[in-house]
Structure 1
Amino acid sequence: DMITRSPAMDRVIRLGQKAAASNIPILIEGESGVGKELVARAIQGSGDRRSKPFVTVNCGAIPDNLVESILFGHEKGSFTGATEKHTGKFVEANSGTLFLDEIGDLPLDVQVKLLRAVQEGEVDPVGGRSTVKVDIRLISATHRNLLQQVKDGKFREDLFYRLNVYPIFVPPLRDRRDDIPYLVRHFMEKVAPADPRRRLAGISAPALAMLQAYDWPGNIRQLENAVFRASVLAEGDVLTEEEFPQIRA
């Protein structure tokens, strides 16, 4: 569920609901930690593919020499270390949704193959002799300015326009500070089942005001980590400013 009381996030939700009714490629833009994957999962959960696979790939976390194999698969013996056949993420996501996070980090040579896969609905496994048909919903995400990357020659223009059919911008947490109390409460509730000894009654007004005044460069991910850390540090059953030393600093 999307936890928000923000008009800016209401727009994101409305765009997501409209997108869920179609099959067009979606590009989710926003800073790191704003919840782009959460938006992608909400879109999947609202559409016809809700009960189908949702496969996530962080394009920035894969070594360049393995990206093609991980995305499109490979045949046994197609390269050193390929001791068995691998289907690849496109085939894993068949009939469902493929979420390509940090799409801007893809090497240019892989971008060519991705463009073909999106256009033709089929992939070329490394070392394979034939293509494999796939039926996926493609959702991409990035924290980069892809249009600037196109101008800099780091991202293919044809792929950009193929992916950027339906852009959704997720605003940073500093632009939706009204969401912070609800998010804090949600994260505190998540701590309780993980550690039953920690039964937090709430957060003090000064501490909450401090959290709302902070700019959160790491966005929701940073807020979640801060609340979890504070819950571990807490001496009593109410979180205070003392439990957020990094924010106070």
Structure 2
Amino acid sequence: MSAPSTRSVVDARGIGRSFGEVEVLHGIDLRLEAGEIVALVGRSGSGKSTLLRVIAGLDDGFTGDLDVHGSRAVSFQEPRLLPWRSVRKNVTLNLKRPDADGLGVRALAEVGLGHRLDAWPLTLSGGEAQRASLARALVREPDLLLLDEPFGALDALTRLEAHALLTSLWREHGFAALLVTHDVEEAVLLADRILVLEDGRIAQDIAVPVARPRERGDARIVELRERILGHLGVGADVPEKETAR
């Protein structure tokens, strides 16, 4: 992949969002560069998914200024495949292009589902369904890929495979990505920067100083993971996933 561009994909200034009297986001300032992967971590209720939905264009009830330069696509934790449409038809749903079918075939091949084009969603494994969801996002050739805990429901081995797939797709396509996750290790392994949200504010903006591919046992990765867990108030003797619920 070529050297990262300094062109911004997202410029957010003073983003706020309230639901009734509950203020969920408080004056968020955020800039994402082209080709950059940024992870959002924080406790439940900190505003991660709300911020992602605002940037994705799925929530227009915010205050502040938001500029997104280029196209967007979203992949959620639930693959959200229509059970009455084939995998291929799910991937190209609402894609208004004359070459839509060919793009869908290519995207499914990229995620390792070239042999499941005409399969029904209910016959897919959890990992396969998530791959189909990624293909549905990729077929739109986004400048910005928004990922709302896309790997949260996968088992450990399938999650590792999904991490490798996302990294491979990022190298191939060069999109920017905003990843919401509860998994701090996932954030450290995948992201260029990690934003720690607390009560609707960015409390920490941490650059990951280790080039990809990253090894879990790398002392710098271990130290960074513990540092972020400390920001989240998770002690070394407390299982991360139990406290993140």
Same-fold status (TM-score > 0.5): no
TM range (shorter): 0.3 to 0.5
Q: Hey, which of these two has a bigger chunk of helix by percent? A: 1
Give TM-score, length-normalised by structure 2: 0.41
- TM-score by length of structure 1 reads 0.40
Q: Which has the larger radius of gyration?
A: 1
Higher strand share: 2
